[in-house]
């Protein structure tokens, strides 16, 4: 039988191709070998004379759409490497979304920022969306800060508030879609990684203190994030269902990146910038829209930049082994 070929025999069983992997689910299998991710990291190591301690994913609320003033833009000794110049990397397809790895120093701590991320709605499988996290890890980053723009489901949340993610609901995982699907390579991590302590409790605690210090005051919360595939915003019935499930924010990213980071033994801090209040009432005539996502991100740029900077300082002081 040819490689990857699937055959159904008379009694309903499926036999697999000679490579030992399940060809039937081939689209969901990770096509990046360990060696190909190492090759990407080695390519980057030749261009960057330092090893990042922290990887930061800058999403729609954190400067993925603009340059001046964004966190990635403010790094010292910056080295910008567009995604299209990086072997094996996906390309950003979101109009206006910057696509570059930005290396540099934040308060003298070496970091790497993903300026713009990859989404399932772009047509990329989850393992492809999350591959840069493995590259960050191979470059030396043992810590991930994942940021996202999200709709607020919790009625106490207001536009411009920040929610530290204490847990997530992997809804796409419920439907059998997971970035770790397919044969597992133990060099990245274990077959069955636990997720009950995905979000580092010490970092959440410190981030709450830092939030007060940088002026987020009462605008800081802690809660549960959930990710849908997008690209459409949710229906009223869907949002009410998510609320009942216990989600406080909803977005289109982060969960698969965090799963991949935990799999390769990184510590994770994630937060949502609330860019809109989710509409859970049929009488409401407003529509969520992407422009407000970007506008709120810009409005919060300074305070969130300081917030992340202080968290990075804390990680370097306390967790850098
Ligand atoms: N839903 C999904 N993703 C989002 C939202 C939302 O309301 N706001 C920002 N990203």
**Options 97, 154, 184, 241, the catalytic residue:** 97
Look at residue 320 in the predicted model and tell me its pLDDT: 62
- Atom 7 of ligand 1, nearest CA residue: 151
Compute CA 68 distance to the chain's CA centroid, rounded to the nearest angstrom: 22
Measured from the Cα of 152, ligand 1's closest atom is 7
- Does residue 290 carry a catalytic annotation? yes
Measured from the Cα of 252, ligand 1's closest atom is 3
Pocket perturbation via mutation, ligand 1, pick of 60, 117, 150 by most ligand atoms within 8 A of CB: 150
Pairing assessment for the beta strands 100-106 and 143-152 based on DSSP bridges: unpaired
pLDDT tens digits for range 229-263: 999 999 999 999 999 999 999 999 999 999 999 99
- Does residue 65 carry a catalytic annotation? no
- Ligand 1 touching residue 250 (CB < 6 A): yes
Ligand 1 centroid from CA 102, angstroms: 25
pLDDT tens digits for range 67-83: 677 899 999 999 999 99
Q: Six-digit token pair at 249?
A: 């924010």
**Options 207, 252, 261, 270, the catalytic residue:** 252
- Ligand 1 touching residue 252 (CB < 6 A): yes
Look at residue 30 in the predicted model and tell me its pLDDT: 85
Look at residue 159 in the predicted model and tell me its pLDDT: 96
Q: Following DSSP, what letter does each residue of 234-295 receive, concatenated? A: PPHHHHHHHHHHT-SEEESSSHHHHHHHHHTT-EEEEEEEEEEE----TT------HHHHHH
Measured from the Cα of 234, ligand 1's closest atom is 1
- Atom 6 of ligand 1, nearest CA residue: 151
Look at residue 13 in the predicted model and tell me its pLDDT: 38
Rounded average pLDDT over 72-100: 90
- Ligand 1 touching residue 147 (CB < 6 A): no
- Ligand 1 touching residue 234 (CB < 6 A): yes
- Does residue 314 carry a catalytic annotation? no
DSSP state letter for 27? G
Ligand 1 centroid from CA 194, angstroms: 27
User: Do the Cβ atoms of 150 and 163 come closer than 8 Å?
Assistant: yes
* pLDDT-wise least confident of 17-26, 219-228, 233-242, 300-309: 17-26
- Ligand 1 touching residue 37 (CB < 6 A): no
Integer Cα distance of 70 and 85 in angstroms: 22
Task: Please give the domain boundaries of the chain with CATH numbers for all domains.
Answer: 1-30 (no CATH), 33-320 (3.40.50.1580)
Task: Spell out the residues 6+ positions from residue 66 whose beta carbon is closer than 8 angstroms to its own.
Answer: 98, 294, 298
Is residue 10 over pLDDT 80?
A: no
- Does residue 149 carry a catalytic annotation? yes
- Does residue 24 carry a catalytic annotation? no
User: Do the Cβ atoms of 112 and 45 come closer than 8 Å?
Assistant: no
- Does residue 261 carry a catalytic annotation? no
- Does residue 121 carry a catalytic annotation? yes
Peptide bond between residue 99 and the one before it cis (omega within 30 degrees of 0) = no
Is residue 26 over pLDDT 50?
A: yes
More confident residue, 94 or 158: 158
Look at residue 31 in the predicted model and tell me its pLDDT: 87
**Options 72, 131, 146, 149, the catalytic residue:** 149
């Amino acid at each position: 039988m040819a490689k990857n070929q699937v055959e159904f025999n008379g009694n309903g069983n499926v036999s697999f191709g000679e490579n030992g992997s399940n060809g039937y689910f081939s689209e969901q299998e990770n096509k990046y070998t360990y060696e190909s991710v190492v090759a990407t990291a080695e390519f980057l190591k030749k261009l960057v004379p330092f090893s990042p301690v922290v990887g930061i994913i800058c999403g729609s609320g954190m400067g993925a759409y603009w340059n001046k003033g964004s966190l990635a833009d403010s790094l010292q000794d910056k080295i910008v490497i567009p995604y299209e110049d990086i072997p094996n990397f996906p390309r950003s397809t979101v109009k206006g979304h910057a696509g570059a790895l930005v290396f540099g120093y934040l308060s003298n701590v070496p970091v790497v920022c993903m300026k713009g991320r990859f989404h399932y709605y772009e047509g990329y499988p989850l393992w492809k969306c999350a591959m840069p996290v493995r590259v960050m890890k191979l470059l030396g980053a043992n810590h991930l800060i994942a940021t996202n723009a999200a709709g607020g489901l919790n009625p106490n949340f207001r536009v411009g508030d920040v929610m530290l993610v204490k847990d997530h609901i992997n809804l796409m995982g419920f439907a059998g879609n997971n970035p770790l699907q397919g044969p597992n390579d133990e060099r990245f991590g274990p077959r069955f990684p636990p997720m009950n302590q995905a979000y580092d409790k010490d970092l959440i605690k410190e981030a709450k203190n830092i939030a007060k210090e940088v002026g987020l005051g009462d605008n800081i919360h802690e809660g549960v994030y959930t990710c849908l595939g997008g690209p459409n915003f949710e229906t009223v019935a869907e949002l009410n269902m998510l609320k009942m499930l216990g989600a406080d924010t909803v977005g289109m990213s982060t969960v698969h990146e965090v799963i991949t980071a935990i799999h390769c033994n990184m510590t994770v801090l994630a937060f949502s910038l609330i860019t809109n209040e989710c509409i859970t009432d049929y009488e409401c005539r407003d529509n969520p829209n992407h422009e407000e996502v970007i506008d709120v991100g810009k409005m919060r740029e300074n305070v969130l930049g300081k917030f992340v900077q202080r968290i990075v300082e804390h990680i370097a002081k306390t967790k850098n082994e």
